A and B are shown apart, each in its own frame.
Chain A
Amino acid sequence: MYFFKLIVRNALRHRLRTGLTALGIVVAILAFGVLRTVVDAWYAGAAAASATRLVTRNAISLVFPLPLTYMGRIRQIDGVKSVSHANWFGGVYITEKNFFPQFAVQAQSYFALYPEFAVDPGQMREFLRDRKGAIVGRKLATTYGFKPGDQVSLRGTIFPGNWEFVVRGIYDGAEARTDTSQFFFHWDYLNETMIKLAPRRANTVGVYVVGLTSADRAAAVTAAIDATFRNSLAETLTETEQAFQLGFVSMTEAIVVAIKIVSFLVIFIIMAVMANTMAMTARERTAEYATLKALGFGPLPLAAMILGESLAIAGAGGLIGIVLTFPVAERFGAEMGSLFPVFNVGRETVAMQVAAALLVGAVAACLPALRAARIRIVDGLRHVG
């Protein structure tokens, strides 16, 4: 017991220094946690993807559409349970800054394929009845104050013109990782306008979403769909929903890698600061360590004492840092708005924060502990700070 008391007393000897070091660790662990959460948010789309859904798109790239007639042919393929389709709309709400994803979907089949978008049945009926209707996510609704019955006007970038919508329902995410910042409306509305304005672009869809009878048939169905349309004017490329989402992540991988590197760099920096604190502390106490040795303490208890002090400071700082991560991440996610639709601190992040704090404490104590353990009593007693 006296041992722990000694550690605490030692740690509190230089209050200012201990306080500053702990503060540094709070900042570092907090920054580490938020950065890891940003990385997680990057992968959120892929993490929320279902194993029983495939996405079929034009093999050239997403810019090219697929003909509507493919729908029936995909449905015939063995292992396919249901098919729906979606078009990326890319409209601008008032100004370019208000970015959120908008999709023109085949409403009934799309929401059947995505059970994680939970819509009130009454609102769903309203939506299906209104060709100009739209269903918006909870997060989006809170950000812009959309309520059922509201008129929303979007300026088309891919599909020219001003498009009027009426919000008919709001969907909630069935899980925390569900993206609730999207805007869905009827593909029919889009198509009918295109028939009038640009008939050449009518009756086309952006991607097909394919529901599987079971997840283990994914590979076979993928191959079968692509084989059906090989050598046609619009060849297809089918992937699991997860691979499709990861495709987007990999295009911006350089940024993710940079954030990851930086998140470890911050731990390194604080390691240097902490190691410095412990080195100074140990140097000042050289004479004390020699005294303790003269009293009969072995090198191990001395090393343990330094390690304990280092771990105590790092642990305290780390704990405060972890506790602060949650409100800060929440605030940060709210500020970022629709850029990161899902922004939650993961359990893994917290585990890594704990590990990082303990690692910093342990590494910082290494060199001073070794020195203290090795010091010769005579030299130590002669030492002047």
Chain B
Amino acid sequence: MKIPFSYTFRNLWTRKLTTALTAGGMALVVFVFATVLMLEEGLRKTLVETGSHDNVVVIRRSSQTEVQSVIDRVQAAIIESQPQVAFGAAGERLVSKETVVLVNLIKRDTDRPTNVLIRGVAPQGLTLRPQVRITAGRAFRPGTSEIVAGRSAAERFKGAGIGETLWFGLREWTVVGTFDAGASGFDSEIWGDAVQLMQAFRRPVYSSLLFRLNDPASFEEVRTQLERDQRLTVEAKRENVYYLEQSELLAKFIRYLGLTLSVIFSVGAVIGAMITMYASVANRIGEIGTLRALGFRKRSILAAFLTEAVLLALVGGCVGLALASFMQMFTISTMNWQSFSELAFSFTLTPDIAAKTLLFSLVMGVVGGFLPAIRAARLKIVDALRAI
């Protein structure tokens, strides 16, 4: 026969301080665990959504990032004329020859300089990235010193807001609009006319080429074509793959750090639960004896104490998860080591993460409660009744 659930619940309710402290400790652990998962998810989401499966990025071989890459005009013309490049509605080739540089801008809140990615794009650059929408002002006019800033770049950097001006490359640049790139990596960038930016930075070469495939399946074909061409020293990647690789190091760092911390913290929380449950058993030896004498089986006692531990952990898990869900309001911005530029991403809570987090708290409860529950179940009736 089962011991009623209310018995378990009342046991926790009687010792409110102990319950609160144990559940509180667990809540903090769950909070850290959930936050790390949310951060990793946020980073992944930001970078996965940055690239499209149908677009191809071409950079100089083994340059790793666009910033370090160089593609001269002759090479660009060869790449542009590949038969797999799609055509737009007006018959133009859907290619954006881009120049990418880093510029130091001052953060609004800390007054510290940070590397910001400035991307010079061709007019097709916006067509190739349908997720980028101008939300305020207008797009830059080709042939002028006008620039548009990504949503989070405009918020975070001095002079990057609409109507403000930035000074770099011996020129003053007017921000005429801000764009929203759907929480992708482009939100942290500033865009202008490629030709103008190349002039200003005195770089007669492009950094990278982006083109749309007329058939998404023809990627392998165009890649071998480009990489085998004797006149070129380039590598081609699908745009989404390129951005995923850009964040590999950062994602790995967050994951390892988070896992290590979660393991260390959960040791603390499990110990806390164990102490509580051992005490809970020790205080109730007489009670356990009585229950056994009334005919409850060992199994039921074990179940009752395990339920108590799991309930405790679940309370902690829910509180921790609730706290973590508030983190969605914050945005983290840090330097991506691989592209060397600032990247903003937010904590993202998904149902999957919520499930994982609750499961994690349950496991903590079971691990912490198992040994004490076994001790309770193993008590001999006679000894237990004699205990007081």
Contact = CB atoms under 8 A, between A and B. Distances in A.
Contacts of B246: none
Contacts of A128: none
A27 B335 CA distance: 31
Given A60-B103, A268-B28, A273 B268 contact: yes
B165 interface: no
A273 B25 contact: yes
A160 B60 contact: yes
Contacts of A63: 67, 101-102, 340
B342 A20 contact: no
Contacts of A24: 267-268, 271-272
A64 interface: yes
A20 B270 CA distance: 10
A252 interface: yes
A314 B24 CA distance: 19
B210 interface: no
A279 B17 contact: yes
Contacts of B32: 262, 265
Interface residues of B, number: 57
Contact of B112 (A23, A247, A283): A247
Contacts of A92: 62
A266 B334 contact: no
A306 B139 CA distance: 70
Contacts of A237: 104
Given A60-B201, A276-B18, A155 B62 contact: yes
Contacts of B25: 269-270, 272-273, 276
B104 A59 contact: yes
B22 interface: yes
A231 to B, nearest CB: 8
B231 interface: no
A122 interface: no
B244 interface: no
Of B22, B24, B25, which is in contact with the most chain A CB atoms at under 10 Å from its CB? Answer: B25
Given A63-B340, A280-B276, 18 more contacts: A14-B282, A17-B278, A23-B271, A24-B271, A24-B272, A60-B104, A60-B168, A61-B101, A63-B67, A64-B101, A156-B62, A160-B60, A160-B233, A253-B112, A268-B28, A273-B21, A273-B271, A284-B279
19 contacts: A17-B278, A20-B278, A31-B261, A96-B64, A160-B60, A247-B113, A251-B334, A254-B333, A258-B332, A262-B32, A262-B261, A265-B32, A269-B25, A272-B21, A272-B28, A279-B17, A279-B18, A280-B279, A283-B15
Interface of B: 15, 17-18, 21-22, 24-25, 28-29, 32, 60-64, 67-68, 101-104, 110, 112-115, 168-170, 201-202, 204, 233, 253, 257, 261, 264-265, 267-269, 271-272, 274-276, 278-279, 282-283, 332-335, 337, 340, 342
Interface of A: 14, 16-17, 20-21, 23-24, 27-28, 31, 59-64, 90, 92, 96, 155-158, 160, 200, 231, 233, 235, 237, 247, 250-255, 258-259, 262, 265-266, 268-270, 272-273, 275-277, 279-280, 283-284, 367, 385
